[in-house]
Structure 1
Amino acid sequence: MAYARYTVSTERSPAESVTSERRATAPEAGLWTDACRTEPECPTGRRLPGADPRRGTGGVPAPSVLPARVGRSLGGVNLFPYTRGDLGSDALWGGVPGLDSAHMSLWLLNHFSTFTLAVFTVGGTVLAAVAGSLLLRRRYPSVAHGEHNDMVGVTLGMFGAIYGIILAFVIVTLWTQLEDTQTIVASEATDAALITRDAAAFPASVQTRLDSAMSAYVHAVVEDQWPRMRAGHPSYGATETHLQAAFHVLQTYDPKSQQQQVFYEQAVGHLDDVASQRRARITMARQELPPLLQALAIGGALVLVPLTFLYGMRKLRVQILFVASVAGLVGFSLLLVFVLDRPFAGDLSVSPAPYREGALAQYWAK
């Protein structure tokens, strides 16, 4: 008889992650949450409305009965690690989550290369601008005479300067945020490596337990937490158990010698830093460009590019070159904003490589 293991986790804070488990036969798969009605069989005392523990769910449950957080695994394979809120308002049958506007950018960054996105973004902007210019020129032939070029030129210069300054500010801010995220990741990995080195001064039993906790933590960061951050669902619970285990080892250890005391204090300090950097990393994973700035970046492009249509030139080739140049520059700038807005998604994302290097490499040795 095959068995399925169901994990229910409700997270209030890193220190308050609650996990309940229930063992049931695979055909009797029931979905459980800590926000369900009272029933003796429910691990938390309450059952999710609409989920019958005596009936199968027929694969992925309908969105209306998705629990607050269900980690579903069969044979050690995580089949459904996200929450209903993580997936958005819709979910497609077969285990593929539906996409809403908030997750569309992440989906594009994780499924298409930067080059492909550049072709569609920059190329699409240029083609749309050239097509719009040609249509306006055909509809109003007098535009080619440049009768209003003085007024259009002043307006275009003013809008271009304002939009350029704002867009440059946004790009520099996002680039700085990406560099800060890389620094946070490197600092967290460095502190974890220093704990590993400090543990060498402890008794063998303490060192073994601390190494085991740190190894589990590093693996959880790379194999569990990183995919969640890449998908836009950062979670403290992915590493909380292992971090608490490391704290427990140090809290229950009483150094005997002066040497052990020195390394013990350093290890405690580094572990505190790991917890601090973890919070900063997850905070960065949740950051995104404010909606007002997103609207300003896109709205500015929708104003600036059409203005170039009104700047008339007698030669069609020169007109097309002018419009395409402005549109290409605007499209490339929007591409930078789009790519840099998510530090853990896409080709330019922050890499988890620091957790595999240096003193931490021993945890990845086969």
Structure 2
Amino acid sequence: MALFETLFVVLGVALVAALAVFAKTRLFPVGEDEEPREDVAEYIAMMVSVLYAVVLGLCLVSVWDTRASADDHAQAEASALHQTYLLADAMPVAQRQPLRDAAQAYARHVVDVEWPQMAVREPLGDSGWTLLARLRKASEVDDSAKVPEQIAAQEVLAQLGYVDDARRGREAAAQERLSPVLWTGLLIGGVLTLAFMFLFGIKRSTTHVVMVMGLSGFIAFTVLLIHQLDSPFGEMLGASPDAFTRYFG
């Protein structure tokens, strides 16, 4: 469901509720001997606060899981690439340095080129996959290789398979973002929660001001935190390329 469709449904439900209240007050007006019911307003305010807390928790869990998944994919990719680099020592002499150079080039490309692109959700293109294909080419051995060298080549191919899988996961995580439906609930719920704080409940003005300031500041902090975590490779709270720089300098 698109953002505008969500807003349309929410506004439609709110309008129907408003019409129902209007019809009730017109058809069944409050008598002169009846007192206004404040408990209904307090119940509605409480329910809005509870539902908003649920939406906040859902948003936080969603963006944190995406960020953690992005970090896990990067760690797995860097670890498998490092194992490939180390296995070069068991390859035929003529292939050792080309394999190391290909691993170093891939790591530099991820850190220097792809990480800034992922931070702003730009497409990564095919350069990384080309470098990965170069790695696979450098790990190939012919039939004249010794048995230990052929075993090492098979292990290199297995590690490159892990690199491939982790890279696909990293690319997918870089494009994930919080659902527009959740963003709509996050913003509308925050406005409603603060609005009820202004309308109901507190009689002393100083206490009211302090509570509204505290709640509004906390809501703003939480929304900004979700916004930062919604970029899994962002500069502030996103996953860092430390795994690659630790292994490959």
Q: Into which bin does the TM-score normalised by the smaller protein fall?
A: 0.7 to 0.9
Cα distance change, pair 287–253 in 1 and its aligned pair in 2 (3 A)? farther
| Distance in 1, Cα, partners of 2:152 & 2:235 | 40
| Distance in 2, Cα, partners of 1:313 & 1:357 | 55
> C-alpha deviations, 1:8-63, integer Å up to 9, x for none?
xxxxxxxxxxxxxxxxxxxxxxxxxxxxxxxxxxxxxxxxxxxxxxxxxxxxxxxx
Report the residue type matching 1:287 in the other structure: E
Name the structure 2 match of 1:258.
147
Of 185, 206, 222, which aligns to 1:317? Answer: 206
The structure with the greater share of residues assigned to helix is 2
Name the structure 1 match of 2:44.
155
Of 153, 166, 186, which aligns to 2:75? Answer: 186
> What SS does the aligned partner of 1:357 have?
helix
Name the structure 2 match of 1:348.
237
Name the structure 1 match of 2:62.
173
Contact 1:149 1:310 in 2 (8 A): no
Contact 2:106 2:131 in 1 (8 A): yes
Contact 1:220 1:239 in 2 (8 A): yes
Shift of 1:253: 4.3
> What SS does the aligned partner of 2:234 have?
coil
> C-alpha deviations, 1:137-159, integer Å up to 9, x for none?
xxxxxxxxxx7653332111101
Instruction: Give the number of the structure with larger relative contact order, counting CA–CA contacts within 8 Å between residues 6 or more apart.
Output: 2
Report the residue type matching 1:297 in the other structure: L
Q: Give aligned-pair identity as a percent.
A: 23
| Distance in 2, Cα, partners of 1:275 & 1:234 | 17
> C-alpha deviations, 1:68-87, integer Å up to 9, x for none?
xxxxxxxxxxxxxxxxxxxx
Structure 2 counterparts to residues 46-57 of structure 1, below 5 A: none
| Distance in 2, Cα, partners of 1:310 & 1:187 | 52
Which range moved further: 246-255 or 207-216? 246-255
The structure with the greater share of residues assigned to strand is 1
Structure 2 counterparts to residues 284-323 of structure 1, below 5 A: 284-323=173-212
Ranges in structure 2 where 5+ consecutive residues have no aligned partner: 1-35
> C-alpha deviations, 1:176-232, integer Å up to 9, x for none?
221121111111000000001111101221111111211111111111111111121
Report the residue type matching 1:353 in the other structure: D
| Distance in 2, Cα, partners of 1:356 & 1:333 | 31
**Count of aligned positions:** 214
Report the residue type matching 1:208 in the other structure: Q
Contact 1:152 1:310 in 2 (8 A): no
Q: Give every structure 1 segment of 4 or more consecutive aligned residues whose post-TM-superposition deviation is greater than 4 Å.
A: 252-255
Shift of 1:338: 0.7
| Backbone CA RMSD of aligned residues | 1.7
Structure 2 counterparts to residues 214-233 of structure 1, below 5 A: 214-233=103-122
Cα distance change, pair 309–149 in 1 and its aligned pair in 2 (3 A)? farther
| Distance in 1, Cα, partners of 2:205 & 2:38 | 15
| Distance in 1, Cα, partners of 2:131 & 2:144 | 22
Report the residue type matching 1:250 in the other structure: S
Contact 1:217 1:239 in 2 (8 A): yes
Shift of 1:255: 6.5
| Distance in 2, Cα, partners of 1:284 & 1:296 | 23
Report the residue type matching 1:229 in the other structure: M
Shift of 1:233: 0.3
Cα distance change, pair 162–263 in 1 and its aligned pair in 2 (3 A)? same
